[in-house]
Chains A and B, each alone.
Chain A
Amino acid sequence: MAETGTPQATSRRRFVDWVLSRTLTTWLLSTSVGGLILAIFYPAGRYLVPPAAAESTAATVTLPFGPNDVPPNSAEIFKFGSRPGILVRTPSGEFRAFSAACTHLACIVQYRDDIGHIWCACHNGHFDLNGRNIQGPPPAPLEQYEVNVRGDQIVVSRGA
């Protein structure tokens, strides 16, 4: 048939024959083009339709302030992923870090230097400097984080 038509018509017919033939499947499999296409579309698809689970939160954060910015018997709120944390410097100068979300209704806690407690203003909940709930409605202790002071940097990490 190729000898009877024009070169353009012959080309089209050969192309159609090629597309319709079983050779296409064999060719796709043998050259792994199928895999290549999957490799392109799968990540794009997962990006366009992501899984329902949220991204895992940060495990470590370097605080935007140094040890000298937090005098003894005071505290600073910091951002840990998208959640609040509180760095407390005890009256003896030790650094301790906790989740700043009250375990009652997730209000942001603060440090009370007059009584040396971590305190939630929403419902007058009190936590001691180990994060333990000691007074008021909070039903559980605050999650404690690890604190490492490296020179003039404070690094807070979620416990293993």
Chain B
Amino acid sequence: MGRQRVGIAAFIWLVGLTGAAGGAQAQENNCVTCHSALGGRLAAPVEAFQRDIHAEKGFGCVACHGGDASIAGMGGMARELGFVGRPRGRQVLDVCGRCHSDADFMRRYNPSLRVDQVTEYATSVHGRRLLELGDTAVATCLSCHPAHNVRPPSDPLSSVHPVNVAATCAACHGDADHMKPYGIPTDQREKYERSVHWAALSEQGDLSAPTCNDCHGNHGATPPGISWVGNVCGQCHSVMADYYEESRHATTFTMLGVPGCATCHQNHEVTRPADDMLGLDEGAVCARCHAPGDRGGETALAMRSMIDSLQAAYHAADSLLGAAENHGMEVSQALFELGGANDALVTARAAVHSFDREIVGAEVTDGLEVAVRAFARGEDAMNELRFRRTGLAVSVVIILALIAGLLLKIREVDYRATVTET
């Protein structure tokens, strides 16, 4: 190890001599020259930085590391030239914030980019631990935007592209050793990747589907508080959030100190909601607190029964009309109108978050009327189909009998003609 360091020092001294001798080479980036030649760990940043957004914008090594790249050898890395080496802990905020917190400077490169990242970071759990407690194990800018490989979030290879955010956060939050001092779980990514949000993001390519930073914030990353978790979910699921806010559960859950949405839907493992969640059967979330005898249990059963009845009526009408359409019957108007029952079903499911059977009942009643009407039209179409089929069968039999009769007649005429001739 010691021999290796002597070798590196000798190499840098030699490069320094060469640089001093060649005045014309003073403009070149001596950081790149030396580090490329040194190879291995010391050369890796040179290779990676070529694709970094900062390199694309014309920044070099000294923008973050300080020093003077025009001076060859160790002389360019003198502390008196502002060389900071590898920034650590709080120093990272100063290095990044020097440009990224300067609105005038940033406007020249990206006028739409925010300049409050460092301010927000200071409000995050990460920032507060670093700045107030001096905890250097927490995430800083470089934990999510890896040095020498910083790419914009729109780049699919970026560590902060929506599809990659969960992996980036889990680099620390999925590491049991790293998280041990904080006493927090490490299965968030595992759970998130079983959620409907991850499926939308990774399978359907819906980049607006939420990942870690959409609920926790990115630079101001903090767990949502119990009392305002609904505001986080309500950003997208506003109809359900509005119903919930007006419901008795909102006050009860706050009083009990449990989160709104996550109590029934989980936080990271938000699976696709199903009607099975409603009611008092096994797996129903209402049954965790309510029993058949109490008022809440009765409401849960009533709401489930209403939703089931509309669901059954809708599917019965839809499959009957689908069968009629498949057999060539004209039922497009009935199918068009049946869309109203689907609207009612979707709205009724959202209205469940009011936990009020009258609100759910009003939606279900409207939908049932539409579904029953559509079913009747489907039955009419199928009756008409049966009538046409019977008519076809009868006419085919008549035609076949006619053909058979004609054939026999022809044979008979031919035979008589033959007998007459003989």
Q: A residues near B, CB below 8 A?
A: 7, 11, 14-15, 18, 40, 44, 47-48, 50, 52-55, 79, 81-84, 101, 105-108, 121-124, 133, 136-137, 139-140
Q: Which residue of A lies closest to B343 (CB)?
A: A107
Q: B residues near A, CB below 8 A?
A: 200, 204, 206, 208-209, 236-240, 322, 325-328, 331-333, 335-336, 339-340, 342-343, 346-347, 350, 389, 392, 396, 399, 408, 411-412, 415, 419
| Main SS class of interface, B | helix
Say yes or no: A47-B411 contact (C-beta < 8 A), given A82-B336, A107-B343: no
A123 to chain B, nearest CB (A): 5
Knowing that A50-B328, A123-B237, A123-B240 touch, tell me 16 more A-B residue pairs with CB under 8 angstroms.
Answer: A7-B419, A11-B412, A54-B325, A79-B336, A82-B331, A82-B335, A106-B339, A106-B342, A107-B343, A107-B346, A122-B239, A122-B347, A123-B346, A139-B200, A139-B208, A139-B209
Residues on the A chain within 8 Å of B415, using CB: 11, 14
User: Considering residues B333, B346, B350, which has the most beta carbons from chain A within 10 angstroms of its beta carbon?
Assistant: B346
Residues on the A chain within 8 Å of B411, using CB: 15, 18
CA distance A121 to B415 in the complex (A): 80
Say yes or no: A136-B325 contact (C-beta < 8 A), given A44-B392, A107-B342, A122-B350: no
Residues on the B chain within 8 Å of A18, using CB: 411
Ranked nearest first, the 9 interchain pairs of A and B with the lowest CB-CB distance are A82-B335, A82-B332, A139-B206, A122-B346, A124-B238, A107-B343, A79-B336, A105-B346, A124-B239
CA distance A83 to B343 in the complex (A): 13
A51 to chain B, nearest CB (A): 8
B343 with A122: CB separation less than 8 A = yes
A139 with B343: CB separation less than 8 A = no
Say yes or no: A121-B339 contact (C-beta < 8 A), given A50-B326, A50-B327, A54-B325: no
Residues on the A chain within 8 Å of B322, using CB: 54
CA distance A112 to B209 in the complex (A): 25
A46 to chain B, nearest CB (A): 10
CA distance A108 to B342 in the complex (A): 9
| Main SS class of interface, A | loop
Q: Which residue of A lies closest to B234 (CB)?
A: A124
Residues on the B chain within 8 Å of A55, using CB: 325-326, 328
B328 with A101: CB separation less than 8 A = no
B198 to chain A, nearest CB (A): 13
Residues on the A chain within 8 Å of B332, using CB: 79, 81-82
A108 with B238: CB separation less than 8 A = no
Residues on the B chain within 8 Å of A105, using CB: 342, 346
User: Considering residues A79, A108, A122, which has the most beta carbons from chain B within 10 angstroms of its beta carbon?
Assistant: A122
B336 with A136: CB separation less than 8 A = no
Q: Which residue of A lies closest to B419 (CB)?
A: A7
Q: Which residue of A lies closest to B408 (CB)?
A: A15
Say yes or no: A137-B236 contact (C-beta < 8 A), given A47-B392, A54-B322, A54-B326: yes
Q: Which residue of A lies closest to B236 (CB)?
A: A137
